[in-house]
Structure 1
Amino acid sequence: MDLLKIEEVAKRTGLTKRAIRYYEDFGLISAPERTQGGIRLYSEENIEKINKILLVKEVLGFSLAELQQYMEFQSLIEQQKSEYRTSEDREARKLKLFEISQVLHKEKMMIDMKIKRMEQFKEELTETEKRVQKALDQLQE
């Protein structure tokens, strides 16, 4: 497995080295391996996680705190899925599925709240646009 220095990760993700370190400090990504000299070494898995964070941030417009919560939900889901797969007890598997369902519901609620705020903002812009158009129409007369 090839490990990459922070400069290469920055090139591949489009983030600055400072932003990558900040994501690590904020807990969005786990601390990478380090050389004896303290140089950070990132795996492909680290890069995939950073790219997923960037996608969620771009598409959903999440703040860093919302991203942190979303990534915690994702981690919890992965843990529950792993426990589900390794359990042979029917009731334990049922419980894991229920727990996954609850986390997914929370994630969907976060997204629904974000969509609602975006719709409200869009409505405000539409009303402003109507007022501007009305003023333009009046000036045309």
Structure 2
Amino acid sequence: MDNFKIDDVAKECGLTKRTIRYYEEIGLLSAPDRSDGGTRLYTRDHIDQLKQIVNARDVLGFTLQEIQDFVSISNRLAQRHQEYLHTEDVEQKRQDLQDIERIVARQLEIIDQKLAKIADIRQATEVRYQSVQDALNKLNE
């Protein structure tokens, strides 16, 4: 497994080193292993996790608290998925899938709530835009 230094991770994720350390400090990012000299050694999983955080923050406009909730849900999902993969018991697989279904449904709820807020903001902006267009048209008559 490849290890990456914080400079490389920061470049790839478009974050500052300080932000990465902060995300680690508040529990958004799992702590990386360290070299004998104390240098943080990040994995591809850390990079993928940071990219998910950046997308939740930038694309969906999540607050840090919402990101923490979303990451927590994602971690539970990954755990349940591993349990599902490692059991042969059909009833246990059914239970695992039902749990996974609930977890994914919760993620969808969070995203839908954010999208509804975005739609409200867009509609209000659209009304403002139309008012400006109407005023311009009146001036041009």
TM superposition score normalised by structure 2: 0.90
Shift, 1:38, TM fit? 2.7
Q: Which residue of 1 aligns with 2:58?
A: 58
CA distance, structure 2, for counterparts of residue 123 and residue 2 of structure 1: 46
Counterpart AA for 2:10: A
**1:21-50: CA deviations, max 9, x gaps?**
111112111011123443212122211221
Q: Which residue of 1 aligns with 2:27?
A: 27
Shift, 1:115, TM fit? 0.8
Shift, 1:58, TM fit? 2.9
CA distance, structure 2, for counterparts of residue 26 and residue 76 of structure 1: 18
Match status 1:140 vs 2:133:
no
Shift, 1:5, TM fit? 1.9
CA distance, structure 2, for counterparts of residue 83 and residue 95 of structure 1: 10
Identity %: 38
Q: Helix, strand or coil for the counterpart of 1:38? A: coil
Shift, 1:117, TM fit? 0.4
TM superposition score normalised by structure 1: 0.90
Q: Which residue of 1 aligns with 2:18?
A: 18
CA distance, structure 1, for counterparts of residue 73 and residue 17 of structure 2: 26
Match status 1:70 vs 2:70:
yes
Counterpart AA for 1:22: Y
Shift, 1:106, TM fit? 0.7
Q: Which residue of 2 aligns with 1:80?
A: 80
Counterpart AA for 2:9: V
Listed as ranges, the gaps of 5+ residues in structure 1 are none
RMSD: 1.5
Listed as ranges, the gaps of 5+ residues in structure 2 are none
Count residues in correspondence: 141
CA distance, structure 2, for counterparts of residue 59 and residue 125 of structure 1: 19
- After TM superposition, the runs of 4+ consecutive aligned structure 1 residues lying more than 6 A away are none
Match status 1:47 vs 2:38:
no
CA distance, structure 2, for counterparts of residue 114 and residue 127 of structure 1: 20
Match status 1:103 vs 2:107:
no
